[in-house]
């Protein structure tokens, strides 16, 4: 009897698990509902993301099982398809300039197979063999990169986005885009020994990135090592 009473007392003292949800509007006009499971004073844990696109498609991502269900508009009952594993996934490669992202992107491509395609942010700045960065080019590169990622997903490829992505804001729009295409998104951090060593990065990066810019990248990368999909989707896009 005393054991039963003790267990009941412990159950009453345990923190109550709360569930909540919030709604976002994507840049495209699509609506997303993020469902959370959390405990008081703990970091909210997203469990499911449901997106309704402007053309009537419903995309539901069960984060615990890592399963995505896509329901297409049209006849009733609406056709549904489930995707698991690497069937439909967009991968962000994350790390400061010179940290080894291109090498990691090639490794991921080998893991994913022939459907994988590397989309490097640097491609837009190449003029022949020369890398030419300007602010105007940088601004123009963003929609260009999103457009080719959309084309890759439309054709059933698995995009690997090779760019710095040191903050959630830098991934937000393409993460939204992935969900609207019925793709999950994930990220892989570079873990080379020099990934957060600004001095080594300055020597290794081949594009002449100024040291203050590298210092800022390193600080952002270190600050955002632990992320979840909700934090990326809710970030203000850059």
- The better pLDDT of the pair 43, 41 is held by 43
Rounded to whole angstroms, the Cα distance separating 203 from 209 reads 10
pLDDT one-digit tens code per residue, 138-149: 788 888 899 999
Pick 55 or 7 by higher pLDDT. Answer: 55
Q: With bands split at pLDDT 50, 70 and 90, how would you rate the model's confidence at 73?
A: confident
Q: When comparing pLDDT for 133 and 174, which is higher?
A: 174
pLDDT confidence bin for 11, thresholds 50/70/90? very low
Q: What is the CATH number of domain 89-234?
A: 3.40.50.300
Share of the chain above pLDDT 90, in %: 64
Instruction: Read off the pLDDT of each residue in 181-200 and give the average, rounded to a whole number.
Output: 95
Q: Give CA separation, 137 vs 66, 121, 122, 229, in Å.
A: 36, 11, 11, 29
pTM score, two decimals?
Answer: 0.86
3-state secondary structure of 99: coil
CA angle 51, 180, 174 (to 5 degrees): 115
State both tokens at 11.
Answer: 């159950």
Strands of the chain, DSSP E: 18-25, 31-38, 45-52, 58-62, 67-71, 80-84, 89-94, 116-120, 126-127, 130-131, 158-162, 184-189
Annotated domain spans of the chain: 16-84, 89-234
Overall average pLDDT of the 131-154 stretch: 86
């Amino acid at each position: 009897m005393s054991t039963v009473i003790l267990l009941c007392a412990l159950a009453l003292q345990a923190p109550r698990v709360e569930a909540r949800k919030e709604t976002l509007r994507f840049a495209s006009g699509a609506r997303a509902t993020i469902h959370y499971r959390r405990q008081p004073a703990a970091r909210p844990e997203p469990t499911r993301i449901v997106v309704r696109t402007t053309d009537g498609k419903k995309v539901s991502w069960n984060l615990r099982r890592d399963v995505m269900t896509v329901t297409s508009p049209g006849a009733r009952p609406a056709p549904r398809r489930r995707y698991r594993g690497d069937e439909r996934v967009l991968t962000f490669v994350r790390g400061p300039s010179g940290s080894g992202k291109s090498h990691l992107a090639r490794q991921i491509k080998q893991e994913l197979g022939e459907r994988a395609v590397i989309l490097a942010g640097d491609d837009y700045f190449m003029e022949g063999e020369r890398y030419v960065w300007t602010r105007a080019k940088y601004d123009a590169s963003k929609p260009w990169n999103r457009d080719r990622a959309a084309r890759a997903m439309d054709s059933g490829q698995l995009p690997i986005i090779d760019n710095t992505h040191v903050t959630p804001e830098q991934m937000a729009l393409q993460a939204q885009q992935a969900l609207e295409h019925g793709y999950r998104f994930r990220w892989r951090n570079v873990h080379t020994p020099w990934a957060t060593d600004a001095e080594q990065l300055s020597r290794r990066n081949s594009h002449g990135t100024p040291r203050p810019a590298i210092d800022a990248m390193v600080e952002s990368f270190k600050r955002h090592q632990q992320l979840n999909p909700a934090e990326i989707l809710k970030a203000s896009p850059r």
